[in-house]
């Protein structure tokens, strides 16, 4: 479990941006396997590292999704105000 958490944490940080929307899966699995690996008692360091990388990757996902929402909202507002000022 610990090794899986570490590998998925690395994939979550590095490969997220190449996997598209499927890139959310490795960080979630890294956190789950990290928790399970810490409970097993073996290789707690690898489990903790994988879990931390998974949490960081998930936080980056949340930040990106919020920024995309802000950009879309700002773009929609700009288009609405531009369309309102046009006269046909």
> What integer pLDDT is reported at residue 17 of this predicted model?
73
Do residues 24 and 41 lie in contact, with contact meaning Cβ atoms separated by under 8 Å?
Answer: no
Task: Say which residue, 81 or 56, is predicted with more confidence.
Answer: 56
Q: For the residues 52-75, what does the mean pLDDT come to?
A: 90
Instruction: Kindly state the helix (H) or strand (E) to which residue 38 belongs, with its residue range.
Output: helix 25-40
3-state helix, strand, coil in the chain (%, to 5): 90, 0, 10
Q: Which residues contact 58 (CB under 8 A, 6 or more apart)?
A: 12, 24, 27, 28, 31
Q: Is the pLDDT of residue 88 over 70?
A: no
CB-count exposure of residue 79 (10 Å: 0-12, 13-18, 19+)? exposed
Do residues 4 and 53 lie in contact, with contact meaning Cβ atoms separated by under 8 Å?
Answer: no
> Whole-model pTM?
0.80
pLDDT tier at 6, thresholds 50, 70, 90: very high
């Amino acid at each position: 479990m610990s090794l899986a958490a570490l590998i998925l944490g690395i994939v979550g940080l590095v490969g997220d941006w190449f996997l598209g929307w499927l890139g959310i899966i490795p960080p979630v699995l890294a956190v789950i396997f990290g928790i399970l690996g810490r409970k097993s008692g073996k290789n707690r360091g690898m489990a903790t590292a994988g879990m931390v990388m998974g949490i960081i990757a998930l936080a980056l996902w949340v930040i990106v999704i919020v920024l995309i929402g802000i950009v879309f909202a700002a773009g929609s507002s700009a288009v609405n105000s531009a369309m309102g000022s046009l006269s046909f």
